[in-house]
Protein backbone atom coordinates (compact mmCIF):
# COMPACT_ATOMS: atom_id res chain seq x y z
CA UNK A 1 0.00 0.00 0.00
CA UNK A 2 3.01 2.28 -0.41
CA UNK A 3 1.28 3.83 -3.42
CA UNK A 4 -1.17 5.60 -1.07
CA UNK A 5 0.49 8.68 0.38
CA UNK A 6 -0.04 9.20 4.09
CA UNK A 7 -0.32 12.72 5.54
CA UNK A 8 3.13 13.96 6.53
CA UNK A 9 1.87 17.11 8.24
CA UNK A 10 -0.67 16.67 11.02
CA UNK A 11 -1.28 19.78 13.08
CA UNK A 12 -3.80 20.71 15.75
CA UNK A 13 -4.41 24.44 16.08
CA UNK A 14 -5.85 25.96 19.22
CA UNK A 15 -7.89 29.16 18.82
CA UNK A 16 -8.74 32.14 21.01
CA UNK A 17 -11.89 30.23 21.97
CA UNK A 18 -10.89 27.22 24.12
CA UNK A 19 -14.01 25.39 22.92
CA UNK A 20 -12.92 25.53 19.26
CA UNK A 21 -9.96 23.74 17.69
CA UNK A 22 -8.77 23.00 14.15
CA UNK A 23 -7.18 19.77 12.90
CA UNK A 24 -5.16 19.94 9.66
CA UNK A 25 -3.95 16.88 7.71
CA UNK A 26 -1.85 17.24 4.57
CA UNK A 27 -1.23 15.89 2.03
CA UNK A 28 -4.00 13.31 1.68
CA UNK A 29 -4.36 10.92 -1.26
CA UNK A 30 -7.11 12.02 -3.65
CA UNK A 31 -10.51 11.29 -2.09
CA UNK A 32 -9.11 10.59 1.35
CA UNK A 33 -9.78 14.10 2.62
CA UNK A 34 -13.52 13.51 2.38
CA UNK A 35 -13.20 9.91 3.62
CA UNK A 36 -11.28 10.90 6.75
CA UNK A 37 -13.24 14.10 7.35
CA UNK A 38 -16.62 12.40 7.15
CA UNK A 39 -15.56 9.51 9.41
CA UNK A 40 -14.18 11.86 12.06
CA UNK A 41 -17.21 14.13 11.89
CA UNK A 42 -19.71 11.31 12.34
CA UNK A 43 -17.86 9.79 15.30
CA UNK A 44 -17.25 13.16 16.95
CA UNK A 45 -20.94 14.06 16.81
CA UNK A 46 -22.38 10.67 17.75
CA UNK A 47 -19.94 8.82 19.97
CA UNK A 48 -18.23 11.17 22.42
CA UNK A 49 -19.88 10.61 25.82
CA UNK A 50 -20.96 13.38 28.15
CA UNK A 51 -23.58 14.41 30.70
CA UNK A 52 -26.90 16.22 30.38
CA UNK A 53 -30.11 17.06 32.21
CA UNK A 54 -32.47 14.10 31.87
CA UNK A 55 -35.50 15.27 33.85
CA UNK A 56 -36.77 18.30 35.75
CA UNK A 57 -39.30 19.04 38.48
CA UNK A 58 -40.47 22.66 38.80
CA UNK A 59 -42.27 23.95 41.88
CA UNK A 60 -45.91 24.80 41.18
CA UNK A 61 -45.97 23.02 37.80
CA UNK A 62 -47.95 19.93 36.81
CA UNK A 63 -47.00 19.49 33.14
CA UNK A 64 -44.70 20.91 30.47
CA UNK A 65 -47.29 23.25 28.94
CA UNK A 66 -47.91 25.12 32.20
CA UNK A 67 -47.01 28.66 33.10
CA UNK A 68 -44.61 28.99 36.02
CA UNK A 69 -45.99 31.20 38.82
CA UNK A 70 -43.98 34.39 39.27
CA UNK A 71 -41.67 33.62 36.35
CA UNK A 72 -41.39 35.25 32.90
CA UNK A 73 -40.57 32.01 31.07
CA UNK A 74 -42.93 29.08 30.64
CA UNK A 75 -41.96 25.45 31.21
CA UNK A 76 -40.98 24.84 27.58
CA UNK A 77 -38.53 27.77 27.62
CA UNK A 78 -36.97 26.67 30.92
CA UNK A 79 -36.49 23.16 29.52
CA UNK A 80 -34.84 24.60 26.40
CA UNK A 81 -32.49 26.58 28.63
CA UNK A 82 -31.64 23.52 30.74
CA UNK A 83 -30.68 21.61 27.59
CA UNK A 84 -27.77 24.06 27.24
CA UNK A 85 -26.35 23.21 30.67
CA UNK A 86 -22.77 21.94 30.30
CA UNK A 87 -21.75 19.69 33.17
CA UNK A 88 -19.07 17.19 34.13
CA UNK A 89 -20.10 14.29 36.35
CA UNK A 90 -17.37 12.85 38.56
CA UNK A 91 -19.54 9.83 39.37
CA UNK A 92 -21.36 7.21 37.35
CA UNK A 93 -24.58 9.04 38.23
CA UNK A 94 -27.32 9.94 37.80
CA UNK A 95 -27.47 12.68 40.43
CA UNK A 96 -30.00 15.29 41.54
CA UNK A 97 -29.34 19.02 41.80
CA UNK A 98 -31.67 21.54 43.42
CA UNK A 99 -32.10 25.27 42.91
CA UNK A 100 -34.21 27.67 44.96
CA UNK A 101 -34.14 31.44 44.59
CA UNK A 102 -36.18 34.42 45.75
CA UNK A 103 -36.27 37.98 44.50
CA UNK A 104 -36.85 39.64 41.15
CA UNK A 105 -34.09 38.96 38.63
CA UNK A 106 -32.30 36.29 36.63
CA UNK A 107 -31.89 32.70 37.73
CA UNK A 108 -28.65 31.18 36.41
CA UNK A 109 -26.89 27.83 36.59
CA UNK A 110 -24.66 29.30 39.29
CA UNK A 111 -27.68 29.18 41.62
CA UNK A 112 -27.70 25.36 41.69
CA UNK A 113 -26.60 23.76 44.95
CA UNK A 114 -23.66 21.70 43.69
CA UNK A 115 -21.38 19.13 45.31
CA UNK A 116 -18.12 17.33 44.61
CA UNK A 117 -19.82 14.95 42.16
CA UNK A 118 -20.67 17.62 39.58
CA UNK A 119 -19.01 20.60 37.93
CA UNK A 120 -21.03 23.21 36.02
CA UNK A 121 -18.99 24.58 33.12
CA UNK A 122 -21.33 27.43 32.14
CA UNK A 123 -22.61 28.89 35.44
CA UNK A 124 -23.63 32.07 33.60
CA UNK A 125 -26.35 30.17 31.71
CA UNK A 126 -29.71 31.89 32.21
CA UNK A 127 -32.46 29.49 33.25
CA UNK A 128 -35.37 31.77 34.12
CA UNK A 129 -36.42 35.29 35.17
CA UNK A 130 -38.27 35.87 38.43
CA UNK A 131 -40.88 38.63 38.05
CA UNK A 132 -42.67 38.37 41.41
CA UNK A 133 -40.55 38.77 44.54
CA UNK A 134 -43.22 37.04 46.63
CA UNK A 135 -43.02 33.77 44.69
CA UNK A 136 -39.74 31.81 44.92
CA UNK A 137 -38.46 29.82 41.95
CA UNK A 138 -37.50 26.23 42.67
CA UNK A 139 -36.46 23.32 40.48
CA UNK A 140 -34.82 19.93 40.84
CA UNK A 141 -32.98 18.33 37.93
CA UNK A 142 -31.66 14.84 37.31
CA UNK A 143 -28.32 14.75 35.48
CA UNK A 144 -26.94 11.58 33.95
CA UNK A 145 -24.28 10.31 31.59
CA UNK A 146 -24.91 9.11 28.06
CA UNK A 147 -24.00 9.39 24.41
CA UNK A 148 -25.64 11.08 21.45
CA UNK A 149 -29.22 12.38 21.48
CA UNK A 150 -31.88 10.58 23.51
CA UNK A 151 -35.52 11.69 23.42
CA UNK A 152 -37.79 11.80 26.45
CA UNK A 153 -39.92 9.06 24.87
CA UNK A 154 -36.94 6.69 24.94
CA UNK A 155 -36.50 7.07 28.70
CA UNK A 156 -38.28 5.36 31.57
CA UNK A 157 -40.34 7.35 34.06
CA UNK A 158 -40.16 4.51 36.57
CA UNK A 159 -39.14 5.63 40.08
CA UNK A 160 -39.45 9.33 39.22
CA UNK A 161 -41.11 11.63 41.75
CA UNK A 162 -44.61 12.87 40.96
CA UNK A 163 -44.44 15.98 38.78
CA UNK A 164 -41.01 15.17 37.34
CA UNK A 165 -40.86 15.72 33.57
CA UNK A 166 -38.52 13.77 31.32
CA UNK A 167 -36.49 15.81 28.81
CA UNK A 168 -34.78 15.18 25.50
CA UNK A 169 -31.06 15.03 26.28
CA UNK A 170 -28.05 15.80 24.08
CA UNK A 171 -25.21 14.11 25.92
CA UNK A 172 -22.43 14.70 23.40
CA UNK A 173 -19.63 16.97 24.56
CA UNK A 174 -19.16 17.98 20.89
CA UNK A 175 -21.52 20.67 19.65
CA UNK A 176 -20.44 21.13 16.04
CA UNK A 177 -17.98 19.70 13.51
CA UNK A 178 -17.26 20.95 10.03
CA UNK A 179 -14.58 20.09 7.52
CA UNK A 180 -13.16 21.45 4.28
CA UNK A 181 -11.09 19.66 1.67
CA UNK A 182 -8.65 21.83 -0.27
CA UNK A 183 -6.33 21.01 -3.17
CA UNK A 184 -2.64 20.90 -2.38
CA UNK A 185 0.56 20.21 -4.32
CA UNK A 186 3.25 17.60 -3.71
CA UNK A 187 6.08 18.19 -6.15
CA UNK A 188 4.58 18.25 -9.63
CA UNK A 189 1.39 16.50 -8.54
CA UNK A 190 -1.45 18.92 -7.85
CA UNK A 191 -4.39 16.65 -7.04
CA UNK A 192 -3.53 15.84 -3.44
CA UNK A 193 -5.77 17.17 -0.70
CA UNK A 194 -5.55 19.07 2.58
CA UNK A 195 -8.19 18.27 5.19
CA UNK A 196 -9.21 21.00 7.66
CA UNK A 197 -11.56 19.91 10.46
CA UNK A 198 -13.08 22.46 12.86
CA UNK A 199 -14.37 21.11 16.18
CA UNK A 200 -16.49 22.92 18.76
CA UNK A 201 -17.23 21.40 22.18
CA UNK A 202 -19.43 22.51 25.06
CA UNK A 203 -16.40 23.09 27.25
CA UNK A 204 -16.59 19.85 29.23
CA UNK A 205 -13.69 18.51 27.14
CA UNK A 206 -11.23 20.24 24.83
CA UNK A 207 -11.45 19.87 21.04
CA UNK A 208 -8.07 18.10 21.15
CA UNK A 209 -9.42 15.53 23.64
CA UNK A 210 -12.50 15.02 21.46
CA UNK A 211 -10.38 14.27 18.38
CA UNK A 212 -8.25 11.89 20.43
CA UNK A 213 -11.31 9.97 21.62
CA UNK A 214 -12.86 9.83 18.15
CA UNK A 215 -9.61 8.58 16.62
CA UNK A 216 -9.32 5.84 19.25
CA UNK A 217 -12.89 4.71 18.52
CA UNK A 218 -12.16 4.45 14.80
CA UNK A 219 -8.85 2.69 15.39
CA UNK A 220 -10.48 0.05 17.60
CA UNK A 221 -13.02 -0.73 14.89
CA UNK A 222 -10.42 -0.99 12.14
CA UNK A 223 -8.07 -3.00 14.37
CA UNK A 224 -10.84 -5.55 14.92
CA UNK A 225 -11.34 -5.85 11.16
CA UNK A 226 -7.58 -6.11 10.58
CA UNK A 227 -7.13 -8.86 13.15
CA UNK A 228 -10.07 -10.82 11.74
CA UNK A 229 -8.84 -10.67 8.15
CA UNK A 230 -5.18 -11.50 8.75
- What DSSP designation does 144 have? E
Average pLDDT over residues 182-187: 80
Answer whether the bond into residue 20 is a cis peptide, omega within 30°. no
- What DSSP designation does 72 have? S
Q: Is 94 left (phi over 0), alpha (psi -120 to 50) or beta?
A: beta
Average pLDDT over residues 101-121: 95
Distance of alpha carbon 43 from alpha carbon 39, whole angstroms: 6
Catalogue all structural domains in the chain, each as residue range(s) with its CATH number: 9-48+174-229 (3.30.1360.10), 50-170 (2.170.120.12)
Query: What is the model's pLDDT at position 207?
Result: 97
* Helix extents (H) in the chain: 32-46, 75-82, 207-229
- Tens-place pLDDT, residues 134-167: 999 999 999 999 999 999 999 888 888 888 999 9
End-to-end Cα distance, the chain = 15
Mean of the per-residue pLDDT values of the chain: 93
String of DSSP letters for 113-127: B--TTEEES-TT-EE
At residue 22, does pLDDT exceed 70? yes
- Tens-place pLDDT, residues 52-105: 999 999 998 888 888 899 999 999 999 999 999 999 999 987 999 999 999 999
Query: What is the model's pLDDT at position 56?
Result: 96
Amino acid sequence: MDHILLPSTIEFKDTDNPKIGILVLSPCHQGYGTTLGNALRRVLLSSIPGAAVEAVKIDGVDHEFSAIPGTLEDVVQVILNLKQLAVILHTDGPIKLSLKKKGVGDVTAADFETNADVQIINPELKIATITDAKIPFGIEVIIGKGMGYVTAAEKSSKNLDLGTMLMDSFYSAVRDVGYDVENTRVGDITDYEKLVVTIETNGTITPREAVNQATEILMKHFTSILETTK
